[in-house]
Homo-oligomer: A and B are copies of this chain.
């Protein structure tokens, strides 16, 4: 197995720096290591930035141009996929020290163009839909089936904006009230602006080694205890319902089985929209199906609750630079488990989970991290 021994991250948000400068900012304290492989987690450098071959352009820019590199893409789930690949390269002894750099520079394009480009992950004959509109279908179906009050969904945004306000790397570092969330502009009925992730630029990086080498890098490695990954049909018309994400269910089962744990202390989920956090909290087995909304209302998933979800602020407040998000989750797990998360520190954070998801559950990667191998 493998461990994370150091991390780097930029503040997420609308950044004036270009993709190369963001890469440098996130890796400046990491290039001292004897890195022998670089994985770039990035989806849209071609579409957003007119750059291809980004893996060798980035290693060249960072002056580590003799180190092998490649790009891993799985749209919003790229980060989880890239961490799985890094783990595999290390365990196969194709590499000894891997730098995984997640990065996306989205604000080079206007919002309308970004939305159109991201819709290109939908099957061609279903591109009339969009990810935000699918989330609204989930919210409607979930509320109806489980008698969940509208407020319980909006409360996710209140919680995650609160957490984000404590995270110096978050895009939106501003608390919002339930009233403000429910009065923010409608995006797709019933969901409102503050319930969706903003469009962000940013980069996040981790350095990974095999367990047996970890203690020579740091006295507090964060171990990857297990990874599970699964896919599900990309066709909206083939999905049975909008209140479960089968890829998430299967990926998390695999991850828990591999990690040999049954309890986690916190989770970073893929809350592209508020309702997704609730659905995913059930799909990974924290709550029974239909009861995730109660956990939010009761504060169980708050920073001081029994099982804090998205202590970083999540995609909702931290932002979602596509290729960077899954790596930023690993960064958060690293900081939390080492007790270095500052004001947003989760108490007794020894085992954490991240969920990196592509499309509307087309693909999911669940990773379980711990302070022990």
Contacts and interface: CB of A to CB of B under 8 A. Distances in A.
Interface stretch (A84-92, A134-142, A192-200): A84-92
Interface residues of A, number: 56
A363 interface: yes
Given A65-B234, A66-B232, A88-B88, A363 B55 contact: yes
A60 interface: yes
A71 B69 contact: no
A231 B59 CA distance: 9
A73 B70 contact: yes
Nearest to A43: B52
A358 B233 CA distance: 32
Interface stretch (A113-121, A156-164, A265-273): A113-121
Contact of A363 (B69, B90, B233): B69
Nearest to A246: B66
Given A44-B52, A88-B89, 20 more contacts: A44-B46, A51-B121, A52-B117, A53-B74, A56-B121, A56-B234, A56-B359, A60-B233, A65-B231, A66-B250, A67-B231, A68-B230, A69-B74, A70-B73, A70-B78, A70-B363, A71-B72, A72-B73, A85-B85, A88-B92
Interface of A: 43-44, 46-47, 50-53, 55-57, 59-60, 65-75, 78, 81, 84-85, 87-94, 117-118, 120-124, 227, 229-235, 250, 358-359, 362-363
20 contacts: A46-B120, A52-B75, A53-B121, A56-B74, A56-B121, A56-B231, A56-B363, A57-B121, A57-B234, A59-B231, A66-B230, A68-B229, A69-B74, A71-B73, A72-B73, A73-B73, A84-B94, A88-B92, A89-B92, A91-B92
